Each structure stands twice: as C-alpha cells, then as structure tokens.
Chains A and B, each alone.
Chain A
Amino acid sequence: GIQVEQSPPDLILQEGANSTLRCNFSDSVNNLQWFHQNPWGQLINLFYIPSGTKQNGRLSATTVATERYSLLYISSSQTTDSGVYFCAISTGGGNKLTFGTGTQLKVEL
C-alpha cells in the first residue's frame, strides 16, 4: 500500500524560530494536503499542494512530485503553532486520504 512518512516525529522550538517538516511518499499522488491538528483535536487544512509551491502568511509548502516529497516551512513560530502536523495523500482515481504519522510540534516561550 501507499507509504507516507513524516519527519521529524517530534520537534521543540523556541518562539520565533523557523522549522521545516518533511513528508515522503511512495507513489505518485493526485492530492496532497497538509493539516494542523490543534490541541483540541480539530484538523485544520493548511495547504492543498500536489505539486509546486504555495505560501500563506508565515507558512509555506513545496511539493516535488517527481521526487515524492513535500516540505512544510514554518517561519517565526508562535506558541499557537503547537500541535500535530499531518501530511495526507491520495492516489489513483479516488480522493480517500492516507495520512502520515505526523510531526508533534511544541513551541515554547
């Protein structure tokens, strides 16, 4: 089956620091999304990015589909960025998502 690997599994940052989260996947994708799961469990959509680069404020993402990886960049991190970041992909004709195991991020003052 499809494999989605995320790294690092855990990350602790000081407020204001930058970070890069990585997602490797084993197959060509027709859908790739990054999500932030906040401490209350809500999954918040960050990016729909099966290829290319997008930016939204302090966050940006790049997917290199030919090399089967995606990167999520967080700049000037804030305590509200804490939570788990998931990468999820779908392949083939349907859009059911396969999730990675996530990166647990904690931003400290």
Chain B
Amino acid sequence: GAGVSQSPSNKVTEKGKDVELRCDPISGHTALYWYRQSLGQGLEFLIYFQGNSAPDKSGLPSDRFSAERTGGSVSTLTIQRTQQEDSAVYLCASSLSGTGPDTQYFGPGTRLTVL
C-alpha cells in the first residue's frame, strides 16, 4: 500500500484480556517502530525493529507487552492481561533504513480502550 496501515482502528476490551494490534509498514521499509500516545504520558517509544537485528525493546513498559515482526514486514504488538492504564492510541511507523538520515512515516493508529 501507499502508507502504513494498522488494524483494528479501534479496540475495546475488558481488563485482563489479551489483545493483538497489527501494523503493515510501507513496502520496502526495513525499520518499524511502535509508539503509544496517552493523555498522561504523551507520545512515547515502545519498540523498534531494524532488518534482521534484535529489536530494541527499551521502551516497553512491562513484560506484558511484546512484539514480533514476521518476514521483515508485518508486525504484531501483543498486550497480555490488559490493564486500564494500557488505554491509549498505539501508533506504528516505518522508515527506509532505520539508521542515519531517515524519515519515519506513521500509520493512523489503533485506539485501545480497556474497561
């Protein structure tokens, strides 16, 4: 596709349930990033994949959060045992190389509400 796509656009879940959020990066982009935007914390980095390198997980807030990227393309962010503080918009971005001069392009986000 022309841009980064994410699904679902909205997700409502009950506390304690697991959720999976999907990101399709721009074709040919080797770097993929997850961020989240919440009222209290603003926009914050979660995890970063670049090519076949080990992902940078330094922004994940707890071990309930994990992400994988299959075949160097699609990524899934999984949140286990969701808590109300996980409610936020989860944004995915991709970029051509992930190093050096490089522009990140963002998807429309998934709005997660934990009841």
Say whether B108 contacts A98, CB under 8 Å.
no
Q: In the bound complex, what is the Cα–Cα distance between A43 and B106 (angstroms)?
A: 6
Query: Known: A94-B48, A96-B48, A99-B42. Contact between A42 and B108, CB under 8 A?
Result: yes
Contact with B along A69-96 (1 / 0, CB 8 A): 0000000000000000010100001111
Interface footprint category on A = 20 to 34
Q: In the bound complex, what is the Cα–Cα distance between A95 and B31 (angstroms)?
A: 9
Say whether B104 contacts A98, CB under 8 Å.
no
Q: In the bound complex, what is the Cα–Cα distance between A31 and B89 (angstroms)?
A: 23
Say whether A50 contacts B101, CB under 8 Å.
yes
Query: B residues engaging A (CB < 8 A)?
Result: 31, 33, 35, 42-45, 48, 50, 56, 58-59, 89, 91, 95, 98-106, 108-109, 111
Query: A residues engaging B (CB < 8 A)?
Result: 30-31, 33, 35, 40-45, 48, 50, 86, 88, 93-99, 101-102
